[in-house]
Amino acid sequence: MLKDGKVVVCGGGGFIGGHLVGDLLRQGYSDVRSVDIKPFDEWYQRFPEAENLQLDLSEKDACYRALDGAAVVYNLAADMGGMGFIENNKALCMLTVLINTHLCMAAKDNRVQRYFYASSACVYNADKQRDPNVTALKEADAYPAMPEDGYGWEKLFSERMCRHFREDFGLQTRVARYHNVYGPHGTFEGGREKAPAAVCRKVIEAKLSGKHEIEIWGDGHQTRSFMYISDCLKGTQDLTHSDIIEPINIGSSELVSINQLVDIVETIAGVKLRRSYNLKAPKGVNGRNSDNTLIRKLMGWEPSTKLRDGMELTYRWIYDQMAPRYAGAKRTPVAAAH
């Protein structure tokens, strides 16, 4: 796509969206519009050189305003978070279907050239995720459908919406199933954070407070793969500009248990903590990993950042946000990195 066409990032005030806006600007895209429901001073990263709009994309009129003149659209907007959020806010997660529905309608009517939708590994059949020693999930495993309740159903429905807008109206949709994206400039507290950021926060709290203990949700044996943000950005943009019309996994295939994730962060922090296990806390499926056979075949690439390397960068950023509290200093907002 020509870099002078208007690119709209929906959810640009969020974690992945903020990184994507910054990456597009660094590449030389001259007309980037970033849209988010949050006030601008609450965006995770802020780029004044982009056109920044505060809009509620669950509303149809807002979607038409957001996509006016757009050539390429990245839909990363959603009301979501980690397991602690999505298990207790199923209705809110389902209501996100309004965002993709209205954006698809606006994209069709505005003759958008490419429309990217960020789906999730939560669309996969739960029966295939009961064992921590999981068989990696391939794209066909989404059917017969039994996704994560609430959030997963919304994602799977929205995937179908994209498919039918492509088949019926010619809207060129592209769909990625993300597997646990993490990195700096993300949520690490407040209830919406995901496991990598939550573990970093807990380890940092233990280290800085001197209370060398950590609570782990579940028994610690549940397994996941985690994808670093730079891999997510590359996969997202390469897929958007490709001819791949079916949903495809974008995720790391490096499987680890939550206990192993804690081991990694302890090593980075240089501490060893006493562990307690909260078996009543939300923990999600027992095992989930990304089968990257298809992405390697179709794109000749797969996410490859080692978890240890990505977690060190994530840990250092979260530490820098938290350390001033323990030094008695007032935390200041983080400006976007250029």
Is residue 277 among the annotated active site residues? no
CA 43 to chain centre: 15
d(CA 223, CA 255): 7
Of residues 268, 234, 255, 238, the one with CA closest to residue 180: 255
Given a contact cutoff of 8 angstroms between Cβ atoms, the answer to whether 158 and 45 are in contact is: no
Q: Between helices 15-27 and 229-240, what is the axis angle to 10°?
A: 70
Q: What is the DSSP string of 4-30?
A: TS-EEEETTTSHHHHHHHHHHHHHT-S
Active-site residue, from 117, 151, 182, 315: 151
CA-CA distance, 121 to 177, in Å (whole number)?
5
Residues of 98-116 as b/e, b for ≥16 C-beta within 10 angstroms?
bbbbbbbbbbbebebebbb
Which residues are catalytically annotated?
Answer: 151
